Structure 1
Amino acid sequence: MSSVADILDTIQARSPVFSILETLWTAGFQAFLAGGAVRDALLGIAPADVDILTNALPADLSRLFADQDSKYVGKSFAVTLVNKVEVASCRPPDKKAVDAGHTFPATDLGRRDLTINSMAWDPETRALADPFGGQADIENKTIRFTRDPFDRIEEDPVRMVRACRFAARFGFKIEPDAFDAIRAHAHKITAQGIADRIQLEVVKAMGMDKPSGFFHLLHDTGLLARILPSLDRCYDLDGGPHHGETVFEHNLMVGDALPASMPILRLAGFLHDTGKVDALEIKDGRNTFPEHQKFTRAMMADLGRLRFSRKDMDYIYALVRGHMRPLKADTSPKAVRRLLAMLDDLNLSYQDFLRMRIADKKGNLNPVKKPYCLGDIRLRLGKILDALNEQTPFNINNLDISGRDIQQILDLPQGPAIGKVKAFLFEQVLEDPSLNQKKILEDLVRQMSQKHFTDSDGKAIK
């Protein structure tokens, strides 16, 4: 316990944690370090977040910390942020704990989700309150619900997803009774009002070393079919002649290969080939998936149901739509310019495009397919940078001629015809960036005007 005590003593000494504890003790209340901080300390991890558990009520906290940065944020249970530290007021006592003769904090800990999260540390007595065997479960690498798993899930279905996330994060096994309870209650994960919290669990999972373990557990428990059915349906779908793994495995390998510091990019990796189910065609007895990047409806429906922001959804959509665009050693400068124009249209950076391409290449068990080496990456990056240095406009609105200029030359009103001319000019500039000069573009408009914008009688189309 000495190393655990050292870690928790360090937490306690942090400002403002110690001052909050001292204020509560001085006022006659009990106060403990609880939940994740204690769990992580027992695992030998320095906790990132600190939670304080107290028998003081929210009104008491409001009074005690009136002159400090405090805010009541409780929803499912009472939490007050005091100088950005979560201070949880005790919930209605766990009846079974009361009947067993337990007192606070055990009466509160009995309401928590998992045994590994249902421990508290008393900084005054340096004693661990562990009424439900959380420490033993950590030693045995087991995820178990606090008390009856069916009761815990009935209280909050999101606890099923949390059990999978913690099991994947720490490499633990879900205890058989808990696993069976999750499978029996998996349908309840679609309950009203919890989509935002499920989304948060999914995003948190992206910060793991390998989130693939999380998705495997979601699939095995039956949760994935209800949370991300677009991904779940890829299970056991053969990846075709270019892959040595299933589509499900490929998605998971690509997601694992993307950076944990970019959770939404990483989630896109886990979803990037979910459209293959809808694109599936069988040729010569083998699965093929022509233009699968365009089949995004199922994926977008999942993201919308989980209440992802429009910004995040658009970003994932752009990554999926753009990930198949080729960029090879022999890709011509003209093709690179068209690639960058596509990325501009998708509002996607070339850096994120390359991250996805590198991960996509890596996620393949076909022995013929090799991941990019550093030289391959440098070559492709060089091609992009060369195109950018040409100062080519990659957006139609960056042409060195305006719609008003085109109207005046052609004597046409504002309308679709002007857009068609700009699109034509944009194509010419992508072919040859040196054409993006106002005088040259004006001459091109004049040269094409009679051919493209007159009717059969030679009259200008208005």
Structure 2
Amino acid sequence: MRSPSDILENIQVQTPVSNILETLWTSGYQAFLAGGAVRDALLGIAPEDVDILTNALPDDLAWLFADQDPKYVGKSFAVTLVDKVEVATCRPADKKAVAEGHTFPATDLGRRDLTINSMVWDPKTRTLADPFGGQADIETKTIRFTRDPFDRIEEDPVRMVRACRFAARFGFKIEPKAFDAICAQAHKITAQGTADRIQREIIKAMGMDKPSGFFNLLHDTGLLLYILPSLDRCYGLDGGPHHGETVFEHNLLVGDALPASMPTLRLAGFLHDTGKKDALEIKEGRNTFPGHQKFTQAMLDDLERLRFSKKDMDYIYALVRGHMRPLKADTTARAVRRLLAMLDDLNLSYQDFLRMRIADKKSNLNPVKKPYTLGDIRLRLGKILDTMNEQTAFNINDLDISGRDIQDVLGLPQGPAIGKVKAFLFEKVLDDPSLNQKKTLADLVRQMDRNDFTD
């Protein structure tokens, strides 16, 4: 295993990092490798991103790197993007650190969120600056706020979500004082301007091996109630006779079972059964959830509040609405055609439909329920592909007759009646694809009673 110093030295000699460091040093500024890169190196992980901390101001950086089209991207604090490397200008000095005799970079690190993110590597001296015990916390697998947790949360409430994400990502425990502070301040997560950043934290969490740990921590700290109340309300809700786990547990199992490379699909898995709370009916003393896939409003309200794009919301909605459509060994070709028509209407691929179905089937702790075998999956995929190869109509616009043709046959003007006729013909074609021929469809139109479509 490579040592942390080897990992960091390998980073500092890479371009453009080495060029940025040398330019800052020769211009009389201090510059260090900071934050996540140092943390990951101490964990033995090759950092994905590199941050540089400097005492140069954004105007200085703009002048020094004018030929590299630097971009100021800072929001919470000053960050300049130089050749895709984030160069952070030191924040206003941490007064407590100054009072204790600290100088830069410790005066900046005292304002950072977590101790494991409050370290820098000095490439010149090959030494680690760790004034708040981040290395020790890594060794003891502890998530701790830098200095006073209430101060850090007051400065930025999203740090509470980050603490949960890092704890779940690395399998660390949140230090008791930090945990209590999050519980006490959880309501502040609704502060204005945090929605986009909370969304990014959620999406980052989807890349973990098991994001369920993240959602469990959000629930345990009280944050989930404010971030995704549609999911939080499923905690402890009995899953009914067909499940051996609660609805909350089932959502988490399904999300974990979906691929980390598809974050929006995975998030849909964590939310797919949140409608069960609204659909709940008790029959013979047991919970049932008829039509729960139709109860999507609470989930959509959460996603909209977190400023997810319409594209992402439509995709998650489609996965939730479609996940209960049966596809079994004895499913008829007619039923498969109707399934594909539904997927076409939802703008959802059969691949993602199957991914959700497989994860849903797998994530059931009822011993009677079994996940799909490879043979089961191949059978279902074969049914879909065989039906698709028939080249039948899966969309009303695939009919071999136009609205103009229908107008001519019925002698009707353009209007809602024509749409009703096309919908009727589409249902007929789904039942029997051989009917999708212009002459046959025109004959069916002639047999219709105009009054059925013009009322």
Q: Distance in 2 between matches of 1:56 and 1:253?
A: 47
User: How much does 1:2 deviate?
Assistant: 7.1
Instruction: Provide the residue aligned with 1:132 in structure 2.
Output: 132
What letter is aligned with 2:193?
Answer: G
Look up the match of 1:422: 422
State the number of aligned residues: 455
Shift of 1:69: 2.7
Residue 299 of structure 1 corresponds to 299
Tell me the amino acid that sits aligned with residue 117 of structure 1: N
Give the RMSD, CA atoms, in angstroms. 1.2
C-alpha separation in 1, matches of 2:384 and 2:429: 17
Name the residue aligned to 1:250: 250
2:178 corresponds to? 178
Task: Give me the TM-score of the superposition, normalised by structure 1.
Answer: 0.97
Residue 141 of structure 1 aligns with an amino acid whose one-letter code is: K
2:9/2:123 contact within 8 Å kept: yes
Paired with 2:427 and 2:320, the residues of 1 have a C-alpha distance of 24
The alpha carbon displacement at 1:18 in A equals: 0.7
Residue 461 of structure 1 and its aligned partner are, at CA, apart by: 5.1
Distance of 1:334 and 1:14 partners within structure 2: 60
Cα distance in 2 for residues equivalent to 1:8 and 1:392: 59
Aligned with 1:67: secondary structure?
A: helix
Q: CA deviation at 1:287?
A: 0.5
Query: Which segment is superposed worse, 277-286 or 430-439?
Result: 430-439
Name the residue aligned to 1:400.
400
After superposition, where does 1:342-361 map in structure 2 within 5 Å? 342-361=342-361
User: Residue 199 of structure 1 corresponds to which residue in structure 2?
Assistant: 199
In structure 1, the residue matched to 2:73 is: 73
Q: What pairs up with 1:210-229 in 2 under 5 angstroms?
A: 210-229=210-229
Q: Can you list the C-alpha shifts for 1:348-383, whole angstroms capped at 9, x where unaligned?
A: 110000000000001100000000111110000000
Give the AA of the match of 1:376.
Answer: D
Q: Which residue of 1 aligns with 2:284?
A: 284
Give the TM-score, by structure 2 length: 0.99
- Corresponding residue SS for 2:67: coil
CA distance in 2, matches of 1:119, 1:78: 18
Structure 2 counterpart of 1:171, which letter?
G
Aligned-partner Cα distance in 1 for 2:305–2:124: 46
Residue 142 of structure 1 aligns with which residue? 142
* Cα shift at 1:231: 0.4
Extract structure 1 runs of 4+ deviating beyond 6 A.
none
Q: Distance in 2 between matches of 1:52 and 1:28?
A: 15
Give the unaligned 5+ runs of structure 2.
none
- Separation in 1 of the partners of 2:390 and 2:14? 53
Which residue type is aligned with residue 236 of structure 1? Answer: G
Q: Deviations over 1:207-233 (max 9, x none)?
A: 000000000000000000010000000
Does 2:257 match 1:260? no
CA gap of 1:2–1:286, structure 2 versus 1, over 3 A, is closer
Q: Tell me, what secondary structure is at the counterpart of 1:121?
A: strand
- For 1:102, the equivalent position in structure 2 comes to 102
Question: Which residue is 1:111 aligned to?
Answer: 111
The CA distance in 2 between the partners of 1:230 and 1:417, in whole Å, is: 40
Q: Is the 8 A contact 2:2 2:44 kept in 1?
A: no
* Structure 2 residue aligned with 1:270: 270
In the alignment, the residues of structure 1 paired with residue 48 and residue 69 of structure 2 have an alpha-carbon distance, to the nearest angstrom, of: 20
Counterpart residue identity of residue 439, structure 1:
K
Is structure 2 residue 88 aligned with structure 1 residue 91? no
Q: In the aligned structure 2, how far is the partner of 1:353 from the partner of 1:31?
A: 50
How many angstroms apart in 2 are the aligned matches of 1:26 and 1:53?
16
Partner of 1:453: 450
CA contact (8 A) 2:122 2:128 kept: yes
The SS at the match of 2:385 is helix
